[in-house]
């Protein structure tokens, strides 16, 4: 007889702010715990530009929301303490949590830097009841790592994630099938995973205000207003239906690329390099989002009269690093371009393999690894708060011919085909 699935969702409470608090308390035990005062982790503290990346519970009471501009947050709470982000340490905290969680099951999926799914179906008998085990995990993370988490317990990923969003912080919640009518259906429709503000407004106009009302609604009624596929999906979600496995991955694409048609002809290396960097930002982000590596970089140039030339080169080792892809792209460009004016520049990566399938290269340094981890952290911020929430300082010039991430709408998409210092990143 097949066992009923048991899924845990672990979610760090106010992750960046919690981790920043841990860092500061580790440095000075007498430091003020940012979690106890109105505080936030956000952009450029001095200029008050950027957005709120994480906020404390006291800051939340002032109506401060994640993702809102710092200028707006200061208006709501003039005494708000804002501190800059410390991505390197946040990555360390995330990795430490993953190492701890791996002791409970080999079947886990890192959903984001601060969220993880565990499939406990085959291992729960080793630790006790689901609630006891979840409470043990919650307690250990706080005692050993210094920050709090919520744990959602359910028969699938959707319900586990919904459960972890119940009362915070530092709580464990269940959402089993029999609990759906009492715990899930009374919630407002906006609380359902994958329901955005636009869909909420359309459903509200149809008289659907709670998840329960959506669950009892005929999907055929929704299709003209929300589209066929989306209507079926959210109706299933409202009824707690989700069969997606922990650790599911999409098939590996053959290549990831991007190109940009320029507003004017380009005939100098400096400008061309800036365009390449913009393209590599997008391509690198797509590779990391798909958890794949590339082993070949191709640069394409097209003149105003559509004459095309391209060259490619193999990397020393497979990578998903924007910096390494950009460095190789610049090298290729300088080797074959004779500075003939071009109107289109493209970058494509091929020889794609799944992350972890390649061998460790002797050419990879600790600095290379640090850059890749940093880039992943930047991806996480951009995916949550918009591609423009963080950009390189080199793209802030009014004379820049390309934006910092060419094709922003495709920045994290998986369905398309000179080193930079990390300090070049600024919050916009």
DSSP letter, residue 61: T
Which tokens in the block code for residue 116?
Answer: 């993880």
Distance CA 37, CA 31 (A): 12
> Does residue 407 contact residue 25 with C-beta atoms inside 8 Å?
no
CB–CB of 7/154 below 8 Å?
yes
Q: How are beta strands 39-44 and 81-83 bridged, if at all? A: parallel
Task: Give one word for 194, left, alpha or beta, with left for phi > 0 and alpha for psi -120 to 50.
Answer: left
Partner residues linked to 299 by β-bridges: 311, 347
User: Strand ranges (DSSP E) for 146-238?
Assistant: 149-154, 172-174
Counting Cβ atoms within 10 Å, is residue 284 exposed (0-12), middle (13-18) or buried (19+)? buried
Contact 113, 15 (CB under 8 A): yes
> In the Cβ-directed half-sphere of 293, how many Cα atoms lie within 13 Å?
17
Residue ranges of E strands in 220-284: 256-266
Annotated catalytic, 335?
no
Residues near 408 by Cβ (< 8 Å), separated by ≥ 6? 282, 387, 388
Nearest to 68 by CA among 52, 86, 89: 52
12 SS3 class? strand
CA proximity to 90, closest of 150, 41, 27, 29: 41
Q: Is 144 exposed, middle or buried (0-12, 13-18, 19+ CB in 10 A)?
A: exposed
Tokens of 395: 């793209």
Strands 353-354, 342-350: parallel, antiparallel or unpaired by DSSP? Answer: unpaired
Sequential DSSP letters for 333-356? HHHH-----EEEEEEEEES-EETT
User: How many angstroms separate the Cα of 137 from the Cα of each of 65, 82, 147, 291, 306?
Assistant: 28, 30, 12, 27, 60
Catalytic residue among 20, 115, 281, 373: 115
Element (DSSP H or E) covering residue 29: none
At 209, phi and psi to the nearest 5?
Answer: -120, -20
Q: Which residues are catalytic?
A: 115
């Amino acid at each position: 007889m097949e066992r009923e699935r048991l899924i845990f969702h672990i979610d760090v409470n106010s992750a960046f702010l919690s981790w920043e608090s841990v860092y500061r308390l580790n440095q000075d035990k007498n430091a003020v715990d940012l979690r106890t005062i109105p505080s936030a982790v956000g952009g450029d503290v001095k200029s008050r530009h950027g957005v709120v990346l994480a906020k404390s519970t006291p800051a939340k009471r002032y109506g401060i929301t994640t993702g809102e501009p710092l200028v707006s947050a200061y208006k709501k709470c003039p005494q708000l303490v804002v501190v800059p982000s410390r991505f390197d340490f946040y990555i360390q905290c995330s990795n430490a949590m993953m190492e701890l969680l791996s002791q409970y099951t080999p079947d886990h999926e890192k959903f984001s830097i601060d969220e993880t799914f565990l499939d406990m179906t085959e291992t729960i008998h080793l630790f006790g009841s689901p609630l006891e085990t979840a409470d043990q995990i919650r307690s250990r993370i706080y005692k050993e790592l210094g920050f709090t988490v919520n744990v959602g317990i359910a028969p699938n990923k959707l319900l586990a994630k919904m459960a972890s969003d119940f009362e915070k912080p530092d709580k464990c919640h269940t959402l089993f099938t029999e609990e759906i009518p009492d715990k899930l259906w009374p919630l407002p429709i906006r609380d359902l995973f994958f329901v955005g503000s636009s869909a909420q407004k359309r459903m509200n106009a149809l008289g659907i205000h709670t998840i329960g009302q959506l669950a009892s609604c005929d999907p055929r009624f929704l299709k003209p207003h929300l589209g066929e596929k989306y209507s079926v999906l959210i109706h299933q979600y409202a009824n707690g239906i989700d069969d997606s496995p922990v650790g599911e991955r999409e098939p590996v694409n053959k290549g990831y690329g991007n190109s940009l048609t320029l507003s004017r002809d380009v005939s100098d290396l400096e400008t061309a390099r800036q365009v390449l960097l913009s393209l590599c930002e997008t391509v690198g982000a797509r590779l990391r989002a798909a958890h794949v590596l590339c082993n070949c970089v191709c640069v394409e140039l097209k003149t105003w009269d559509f004459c095309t030339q391209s060259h490619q080169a193999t990397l020393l080792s497979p990578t998903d690093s924007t910096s390494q892809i950009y460095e190789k792209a610049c090298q290729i460009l300088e080797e074959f371009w004779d500075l003939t004016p071009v109107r289109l520049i493209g970058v494509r990566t091929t020889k794609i393999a799944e992350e972890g399938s390649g061998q460790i290269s002797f050419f990879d340094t600790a600095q290379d690894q640090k850059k890749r981890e940093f880039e992943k952290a930047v991806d996480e911020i951009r995916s949550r708060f918009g591609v423009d929430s963080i950009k390189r300082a080199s793209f802030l010039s009014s004379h820049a011919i390309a934006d910092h991430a060419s094709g922003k709408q495709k920045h994290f998409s998986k369905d398309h085909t000179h080193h930079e210092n990390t300090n070049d990143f600024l919050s916009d």
